Amino acid sequence: MASGGVLAQKLKQRGIARSPLPDSEFVGQAFARQIERAFRPLLKAPVGAVLIDGRTVKVAEALQGVPVPAMLCLVGMEGTKGQGLLMLDSDLAYHLVDLMLGGDASVAPMPLARTFTAIDMALCGLAQTAALAAIGDALAAAFGRPLQAGFQIAGQMQDVGQVRLAAPHVDLLVYSVALDIGSAARSGVLNLMLPLGMLDVVCAAMQTKADALPPDEATDLWRVQMGRAAILAPVVLDAVLHTQRMSVNAALALKVGDVIEVPPGAVSEVRLLLDQRGGKCAQLATGRLGAYRGAKVVKLDGALDPRVGEHVRRALRRS
């Protein structure tokens, strides 16, 4: 008999399984957007996140691509037996620690590859917790309802040799997200690896929850897809620097070369407005006018108006 047995050989040779998620691409894109939202208050700097890869691979292949050192944490979920892995590469971990300790987001120091200290692990644990909440929110958006249990950190480490996820032939769903932080474009990569068996449990739990809801709840596939389409629909935001009031005669008399005074404080009171029906506008937030990479930008200095978000959620529920 061959070494390891016939069954073991068959398992090693089988192909890659498909992700059980209803739309893996949608989840990946939503994951990147949620990371942006979760990391901004942590780092107090602009954060951009782009999904660069989302695919299913074997455990052996996934772990071979993990650099050393890297900020790693095992990912668990109540009610599941398997564990996933969240990886922050050393560059990203360096920038996260530096910014959370008060570093200047307008400069990009050269990252130093080094062994992580206990303080580094604790600070990056905040970012890892935020990233796990982000994938939970992304899955909730895909299913149209929140998860019954969230993902949690089951342990931290910095050497992939210490990781024992599962047998090498087990399939993982891997999301790779590139992050761009601050005006100096600090960068790094975050990888999330979740066993398909763990995702099977999540999908089964969500289906069970859907079956238990009243028929008139928005649980059918059509409503979920329409909700996704509504969330991803493009909108136009107007950044208003200043509103000048004048008479009709004065407005009609304006000509080339005329000067309209703008208050000095207007650059720090830019209003972000969202068009509504009937020619009305809703103010989402305020920000400050600045520059980034040779372009004019508006940096938000406060949270979005919660009333607007609640209005959108009510509209989606009615649909």
Q: How confident is the model at residue 261 (pLDDT cuts 50, 70, 90)?
A: confident
Do 73 and 154 touch, CB atoms closer than 8 A? yes
Do 119 and 244 belong together in one domain? no
Q: What is the arithmetic mean of pLDDT over 57-70?
A: 85
pLDDT for residue 76 is more than 60: yes
pTM equals 0.66
Do 144 and 70 belong together in one domain? yes
pLDDT for residue 2 is more than 60: no
Do 244 and 207 belong together in one domain? no
Do 40 and 131 belong together in one domain? yes
Do 59 and 125 belong together in one domain? yes
Q: What is the arithmetic mean of pLDDT over 60-78?
A: 87
Do 123 and 65 touch, CB atoms closer than 8 A? no
Do 173 and 246 belong together in one domain? no
pLDDT for residue 263 is more than 60: yes
Domain assignment of residue 222, yes or no: no
Do 88 and 181 belong together in one domain? yes
Do 53 and 175 touch, CB atoms closer than 8 A? yes
Q: Which of 212, 244, 268 is the last residue before a domain boundary?
A: 212
pLDDT of res. 39: 94
Q: What is the arithmetic mean of pLDDT over 113-133?
A: 91
Q: Which of 159, 181, 212 is the last residue before a domain boundary?
A: 212
Domain count, the chain: 2
Do 241 and 184 belong together in one domain? no
Q: Which of 150, 178, 212 is the last residue before a domain boundary?
A: 212
Closest to 203 measured CA to CA, from 20, 26, 54: 20
Do 131 and 205 belong together in one domain? yes
CA 235 to mean position of chain CA atoms: 20
pLDDT of res. 300: 82
Range of the domain at 109: 10-212
CATH number of the domain at 241, please. 2.30.330.10
CATH number of the domain at 84, please. 3.40.1550.10
Q: Is 37 exposed, middle or buried (0-12, 13-18, 19+ CB in 10 A)?
A: middle
Domain assignment of residue 42, yes or no: yes
Domain assignment of residue 217, yes or no: no
Q: Across all residues in the chain, what is the average pLDDT? A: 82
Domain assignment of residue 133, yes or no: yes
